[in-house]
Amino acid sequence: MNKPQKTKNPDYESLGKMLVSIYETGYINANQSYKSSFLKGVASGIGGVLGATLVIGALAWSLSLFKHIPLLGPITDTVKTTIQEKK
């Protein structure tokens, strides 16, 4: 069974040709571009992890303000007893 071919948007195709020509003419150093892209990826990964940590921490803090959580009561009770046993 043949897979259907993806149609290419002409704008994307022309953009790709322009990028190739920029690299081929030497206007942009390819190694510097790869380093920059790598660092940008690392920074976005670290930012995502830090952001998720802050959101989960804020959620945990806001849930700790309640004495009893209706839907999560049994789960929080087991977590509380586990923490108290470890002390």
Residue 69 · residue 76 · CB < 8 Å: yes
Residues in the chain: 87
Which pLDDT belongs to residue 57? 94
Q: Which one, of 83, 84, 76, 44, lies nearest residue 59 by Cα? A: 76
Report residue 55's pLDDT band, with 50, 70 and 90 as the boundaries.
very high
- Per-residue pLDDT tens over the stretch 68-80: 777 777 777 788 8
- Per-residue pLDDT tens over the stretch 4-51: 566 567 788 888 888 888 878 878 787 888 899 999 999 999 999 999
Note the pTM of the prediction, 2 decimals: 0.53
